[in-house]
Amino acid sequence: MRYVIYARKSGESEERQILSIEAQLAELQEYSAKEKLEIVASFQEAQTAKEPGRTKFAEMLSFLQEGYADGILSWHPDRLARNSVDGGQIVYLLDTGKIKDLKFPTFWFENTPQGKFMLNIAFGQSKYYVDNLSENIRRGHRAKLRRGVYPGSAPIGYLNNHRTRDIDIDPERAQIIGKGFELYATGKYTLKQIARAFKNMGLRSQKGNVLAVSCVQRMLSKSFYYGLFKFKGETYQGTHEPLITKKLFDECQEVMKFRGHIKTRKAEKTFPFRGLLTCGECKCAITAETQKGHNYYRCTKKREMCSQKYVREELLTEQVKNFLQKVSLSSQDAEKILRELDKDEQKAKLDNHVVLQNLKTEITDIGVKLDKLLSAYLDEIVSAEEYAAQKEKLLARKVECGEEIREIENGSVSWLEPARAFVKSLNHATELVQSGDKSEMTTFLKQIGSNHILFDKCISFSPKIPYKLAAERSEAGNSHLQNPYWRRVWDALGTFFAQVPNQFLV
Ligand SMILES: [Zn+2]
């Protein structure tokens, strides 16, 4: 069966919300591809259907009457006719067999007496049309969302292109914003300092205002800049060009999380371990106070009876240093491991094609998973929240895979960077033991693990896997018969990072 496409939009204000002709055509083309319809011609016009006498509509009807096509594909019956004359003509052509079928993405039509009856109602029913308005707005957004275009005004650094309806990079502002992300990722600057830097570099909003600190914070947490965006709680992969990598974005989020903790920097200087520990008996926070020139830490005992006693800070410092010593690497040893890493890098480059293949497979798998997720959502097997959350996770991973692929193609090996960062942090532990900076120790402990507990005057916590391995290798003894510590660390970690580098970053 051969179909003609018919799209129409009038200039009337009441129809302002209806899909543009371009959007109707996009929807119809997608629909025809999905339904495998053969399209032989397309008619479009911008004229009201309230009164008879549309030229393109008349052309289409004679095209059908002459037998060049068998059916019409249109967005909704109200696009074809909104008066009884035009509606009657369509029905007459159906009755005489000149038109064999009508297809609408928004309306189910069957060429039966009941079908024609329903069609007649749809032609005449303006209430239906009004009811359909909100659905059409949603679909207008949907057309953009499907193209991966954010259906609102572009965030700073981008511009809405009103001609192509895409979102383009704003070359002047984009460069400054990219710089801002880079500065913030170093962890050396506060949001306020970043806001000031933006001001000095001449960054202004569309309205010409200097960006407020809250604005800068919101900006630095927008996934839009690395390629995803959220609309009504759902995440989409944008087709706009990213300003930054997801890696840089993640680094900024880490800094923000960390900086959020150090508002009370002063209090931390006085009581460096405050805010780190919770009570192992009653799960309350551990607080601190000074008695006779010594710092003491104790359970706040806010919830229930708790038998835990005061602990002197010196005792805690000793325990922390003890742990740090276990994961300490001297600068020389760190150098040795870093050199081994360089060798591995050479070797790994040869194996890269396997990794590339795996990443590409993963991207394909994600596509399949997204499809399944959507069906599960449409079949109401998963809730809207679940759907949104899962989709966001899958899309984020997809972007990550894409970045890893590009990195590998540019010649770097993805797991080496986390491994290098890890080795450097082991060397940092040595520095901490030497400097004795307790609030830095707290920061370090927070970064390398979680669930820090104080129980019977003893600190315990769950270190991230590589730190756990490093500590275990250290405890395994320092016998001269064994490999040196750095060797043992390296043997244990080489495999870990090559297999699950992302675990380290979580
Ligand atoms: Zn307690």
Q: Which segments within 25-147 are labelled E, that is strand? A: 38-45, 71-74, 101-103
Ligand 1 centroid – CA 443 distance (Å): 23
Q: What is the dihedral of CA 474, 477, 480, 485, to 10 degrees?
A: -10
* Residue 473 lies inside a defined structural domain of this protein: yes
User: What pLDDT, on the 0 to 100 scale, is given for residue 299?
Assistant: 93
- Kindly state whether residues 21 and 137 are assigned to the same domain: yes
- Kindly state whether residues 385 and 476 are assigned to the same domain: yes
* Residue 413 lies inside a defined structural domain of this protein: yes
For ion ligand 1, residues whose CB falls within 5 Å: 279, 281-282, 284, 299, 306, 308
* Residue 152 lies inside a defined structural domain of this protein: no
Question: Looking only at Cα atoms, what is the longest distance across the chain?
Answer: 104
Q: Is 20 helix (H, G, I), strand (E, B) or coil?
A: coil
Ligand 1 centroid – CA 425 distance (Å): 32
- Kindly state whether residues 437 and 314 are assigned to the same domain: yes
Ligand 1 centroid – CA 506 distance (Å): 29
Ligand 1 centroid – CA 261 distance (Å): 23
Ligand 1 centroid – CA 279 distance (Å): 5
Which residue ranges in the chain fall short of pLDDT 70? 11-18, 50, 84, 124-140, 260-269, 411-414, 476-483, 494-495, 498-506
Q: State how far the Cα of 157 lies from the Cα of 149, in Å rounded to an integer.
A: 15
Count: domains in the chain: 3
CATH label of the domain that carries residue 106: 3.40.50.1390
Ligand 1 centroid – CA 311 distance (Å): 12
* Residue 477 lies inside a defined structural domain of this protein: yes
- Kindly state whether residues 373 and 470 are assigned to the same domain: yes
**Cβ(430)–Cβ(441) under 8 Å?**
no
CATH label of the domain that carries residue 219: 3.90.1750.20
Residues 189-198 have pLDDT tens digits of: 889 999 999 9
Domain range for 245 is: 158-263
pTM: 0.45
* Residue 153 lies inside a defined structural domain of this protein: no
User: What pLDDT, on the 0 to 100 scale, is given for residue 255?
Assistant: 83
Domain boundary (77, 112, 146) is at: 146
Strands 449-455 and 278-279 come out as: parallel
Ligand 1 centroid – CA 30 distance (Å): 62
- Kindly state whether residues 9 and 136 are assigned to the same domain: yes
Q: Return the axis-axis angle of helices 246-261 and 213-220, rounded to nearest 10°.
A: 130
Ligand 1 centroid – CA 260 distance (Å): 26
Q: What does the radius of gyration of the chain's CA atoms come to, in whole angstroms?
A: 32
Ligand 1 centroid – CA 103 distance (Å): 69
In the numeric block, which tokens belong to residue 50?
Answer: 């309230």
- Kindly state whether residues 306 and 245 are assigned to the same domain: no
- Kindly state whether residues 335 and 442 are assigned to the same domain: yes
Q: Which of 423, 458, 138, 407 is nearest to 280 (CA)?
A: 458
Helix or strand (DSSP H, E) at 411: none
The Cα angle at residue 462 between residues 461 and 466, in degrees rounded to 5: 130
Ligand 1 centroid – CA 272 distance (Å): 19
Count of helices and strands (H, E) across the chain: 19, 14
Q: Where are the alpha helices (DSSP H) in 305-383?
A: 313-326, 331-378
* Residue 151 lies inside a defined structural domain of this protein: no
* Residue 424 lies inside a defined structural domain of this protein: yes
Q: Is 244 helix (H, G, I), strand (E, B) or coil?
A: coil
Q: State how far the Cα of 19 lies from the Cα of 144, in Å rounded to an integer.
A: 11
Ligand 1 centroid – CA 463 distance (Å): 22
Residues 231-262 have pLDDT tens digits of: 877 888 899 999 999 989 998 988 888 776 54
Q: State how far the Cα of 243 lies from the Cα of 181, in Å rounded to an integer.
A: 10
- Kindly state whether residues 311 and 251 are assigned to the same domain: no
In the numeric block, which tokens belong to residue 39?
Answer: 């399209």
Domain boundary (263, 286, 319) is at: 263
Domain boundary (146, 178, 202) is at: 146
* Residue 335 lies inside a defined structural domain of this protein: yes
User: What pLDDT, on the 0 to 100 scale, is given for residue 9?
Assistant: 81
- Kindly state whether residues 239 and 296 are assigned to the same domain: no
What is the rounded end-to-end Cα distance, in angstroms, of the chain?
A: 56
Q: Which amino acid is at 396?
A: A
- Kindly state whether residues 35 and 182 are assigned to the same domain: no
Residues 404-457 have pLDDT tens digits of: 888 777 766 667 777 888 888 899 999 999 988 898 899 899 888 989 999 999
Ligand 1 centroid – CA 284 distance (Å): 5
- Kindly state whether residues 485 and 410 are assigned to the same domain: yes
Q: State how far the Cα of 25 lies from the Cα of 37, in Å rounded to an integer.
A: 14
- Kindly state whether residues 290 and 246 are assigned to the same domain: no
User: What pLDDT, on the 0 to 100 scale, is given for residue 158?
Assistant: 96
Ligand 1 centroid – CA 304 distance (Å): 8
